[in-house]
A = this chain, B = another copy of it.
Amino acid sequence: MSDAELYKRQGMGNRIGFGKKAALVLVDFTVGFNDPNAFGGGNVNDAVQNTVPLLAAARRNRVPVAYTRVMYAKDRSNVGVFATKNAKLADLTMDNPLSHVVPELTPIDGEYIIDKTEASAFLGTGFASWLAMRRVDTLVITGATTSGCVRATVVDACGHNFRPIIVRDCVGDRALGPHEASLFDMDQKYGDVMGSNEIIAAFTHQGGK
Contacts and interface: CB of A to CB of B under 8 A. Distances in A.
A143 interface: no
B132 A175 contact: no
Interface in A39-69: 39, 41
A96 interface: no
A158 B82 contact: yes
A118 B159 contact: yes
Contacts of A117: 126
A3 B177 contact: yes
B10 A88 contact: yes
A9 to B, nearest CB: 9
Contacts of A20: 135
A185 interface: yes
24 contacts: A10-B86, A11-B87, A12-B87, A14-B87, A16-B81, A20-B135, A73-B113, A77-B110, A78-B112, A78-B130, A81-B161, A86-B189, A117-B126, A118-B129, A118-B158, A119-B155, A124-B125, A128-B160, A129-B159, A129-B160, A130-B161, A148-B185, A148-B189, A178-B181
Interface of A: 3, 6-7, 10-14, 16, 20-21, 38-39, 41, 73, 75-78, 80-82, 84-89, 109-113, 117-120, 123-126, 128-133, 135, 137, 147-148, 152, 155-156, 158-164, 174-175, 177-178, 181-182, 184-185, 189-191
